[in-house]
Amino acid sequence: MRAKAGLTVFLALLIGMMIAVVFGFLEAARVSGLRSNADMQTMQAADALLSEYHAGLWKNYDVLFWESSSNGAEGAALLQKQSLDQNQSFASGKSMFREYPFLEVSASRIAVDAYECATDRGGAPFREQAVIAAKENLAQSAVKELEDALLQKEEDAPSEDAMEQMEHDAGELDKQLETTAESDMEQEEGGEEAPAADASDSVSLAQKRELRKDIPIKWMIRLKKMGILSVVMQDKPVSEKAMDHPELIGKRELQTGNYVNVKEAGVGEDLWYLLYLQQHFSDASRESMGGVFDYELEYMVAGKHSDEENLKAVVNRLLLMREGVNYVYLLQDVQKNNEALLLATAIVSAFGQPELAEPVKHAILLAWAYAESISDVRILLDGGKLLPVKTSAQWHTDLSNLSGDYLGEEGDSADGGKGLTYTQYLQLLLLAEKKEKVTYRTMDLIEQREGIRMDQMIGRMKCSYLFEAPPLFWRFVSLGDNTFTGFSYQTSKKISYLAEEQN
């Protein structure tokens, strides 16, 4: 009996050990399945979050962002946790969804470790998505066409600052002539004889007054004081839209993320961004897209609070640009040069200051170039094109008309479909602005239309997940103190609306 009893104890111990080993292997094999399930739930949580993108941004602007609250990305973790809990609750009530109940895990903690707002890094996250949208919606040839068009810009024309200085100098010259004219007329009216180099140089008081009134320099100065929009727009109505008490992105404290190690966009993507703006925003030469402004690209250039102010600022810059082009052409046109010199000589001789003939000639050429630039801007606003270099065939104005109530010629675009459009001139102006300023102004318009805050729009996150599962087979193992209470598995995931960044 002792022998049989000893054998029974040995077999019992052996069988117990074998069972422990088997259940230990089963539990070890279960670990791999638990990890796979945890990874699958991580992807489900990320997809649930990404599916909550802002519909208006996608529909109207082709960009994808998740809208957070003023507390940052805290809600992103809660949304993912609720989604997983809801899935688990649904599956537990349906036996058909529990084919492998021994592989179930639950997310005990989800945290957002880093996130990036659309306004971070000067609006680079938004700009990046905008460039991607342009590349997806347009052919590669589109950016080449824009590049070729913008390369036509007026390389040899004086700068806007130089033209403003020239206009200022012309105004000072006009004041000098005005002072001389008043002095001479006071002398003549008082019975004194004005000094003259020769009797043939004398001009009657009436002639002096006529010259004083009709000098082209005075015409230019008078026209600039009129209000330029009424001149270039003529019978076209000017939009009266305006922003009411805007909280502009560039002038308020922004919510910022803590996402790092982001690849910066290349320089060549600037043109793609311009094409994106052309697709999604309007200007004075194209139909309104229903935003807070009708002249949206003009706002990106000027940054004023009303359509009228933005259009006025842009038109004044275009006038300066085209005035420089036209002035360069006039300097090279011998016939028009002589015409201006003849008029200048008559003016300065009338007031006994022949030494001012050359400066007055250039002031007259400047006024003439300004008159032609009015015609140019009208062509652009009517949807026409302008070549970067002026030719005699494209010249519309006559020097003899620069007086009185003259408002410039209508002008026709006779360039055979070549040159820059009004929108492309705006794109030239936008290229000269800082990227951050243009991007922020783009998002200003989006905020006004969608009623959102772009610094609460998140495009990238890094989240960490902790999954737990109780032991299953190990409960049948009674080796040692057996204090093992369950499994925990920690993982992380980069969540982004850019597919190549998913991991």
Q: Tell me the β-bridge partners of 449.
A: none
Q: What is the chain's percent helix, strand, coil content, to nearest 5?
A: 60, 10, 30
**CA 222 – CA 374 distance, rounded (Å):** 14
Maximum distance among all Cα pairs of the chain, rounded to whole angstroms = 160
Residues 76, 463: contact at Cβ < 8 Å?
Answer: yes
Of the chain, the end-to-end C-alpha distance in Å amounts to 67
**CA 425 – CA 427 distance, rounded (Å):** 5
Establish how many alpha carbons lie within 13 A of residue 367's alpha carbon, considering only the half-sphere containing its beta carbon: 32
pLDDT given at position 182: 61
pLDDT given at position 145: 85
Q: For residue 191, what are the contacts with CB-CB under 8 A and spacing of at least 6?
A: none
Give me the sign of the Cα torsion angle 278, 282, 284, 286. positive
DSSP 480: T
**CA 397 – CA 380 distance, rounded (Å):** 16
pLDDT given at position 199: 38
pLDDT given at position 294: 95
pLDDT given at position 181: 58
pLDDT given at position 240: 93
Q: Residue 313 — left, alpha, or beta (φ > 0 → left; ψ -120 to 50 → alpha)?
A: alpha
Nearest-5° angle of CA 285, CA 287, CA 288? Answer: 115
Q: Residue 411 — left, alpha, or beta (φ > 0 → left; ψ -120 to 50 → alpha)?
A: left
**CA 26 – CA 477 distance, rounded (Å):** 11
**Residue 307 in tokens:** 């359509």
pLDDT given at position 196: 44
Range list of β-strands (E), 95-181: 106-117
Range list of β-strands (E), 371-448: none
**CA 323 – CA 231 distance, rounded (Å):** 15
Amino acid sitting at position 198: D
pLDDT given at position 194: 45
Torsion angle defined by CA atoms of residues 323, 326, 213 and 315, in that order, rounded to the nearest 10 degrees: -30
| Coil vs helix vs strand at 291 | coil
Reading the chain (503 residues) residue by residue, the pLDDT tens digits are 455 555 677 777 677 677 766 766 766 777 788 888 888 888 989 999 999 999 999 999 999 999 998 777 888 989 998 888 887 766 555 544 455 567 778 888 999 999 999 999 999 999 999 999 999 998 888 888 888 887 776 557 788 888 889 888 888 888 887 776 566 555 555 555 444 444 344 445 555 556 556 688 888 888 888 888 888 987 789 999 998 877 899 999 999 999 887 666 665 789 999 999 999 999 999 988 888 999 999 999 999 999 999 999 999 999 999 999 999 999 999 999 999 999 988 888 877 778 888 999 999 999 999 999 999 999 999 888 888 888 888 898 999 888 877 887 776 665 556 788 999 999 999 999 999 999 999 999 999 999 999 999 999 999 999 988 877 666 666 655 556 667 888 899 999 998 766 55
pLDDT given at position 204: 57
Nearest CA among 195, 225, 428 for reference residue 322: 428
Residues 458, 333: contact at Cβ < 8 Å?
Answer: no
Nearest CA among 153, 205, 29 for reference residue 100: 29
- Cβ of 435: how many Cβ atoms within 10 Å? 16
pLDDT given at position 186: 56
Q: What are phi and psi for residue 495, nearest 5 degrees?
A: -110, 120
**CA 317 – CA 295 distance, rounded (Å):** 15
pLDDT given at position 197: 41
Q: What are phi and psi for residue 91, nearest 5 degrees?
A: -70, -35
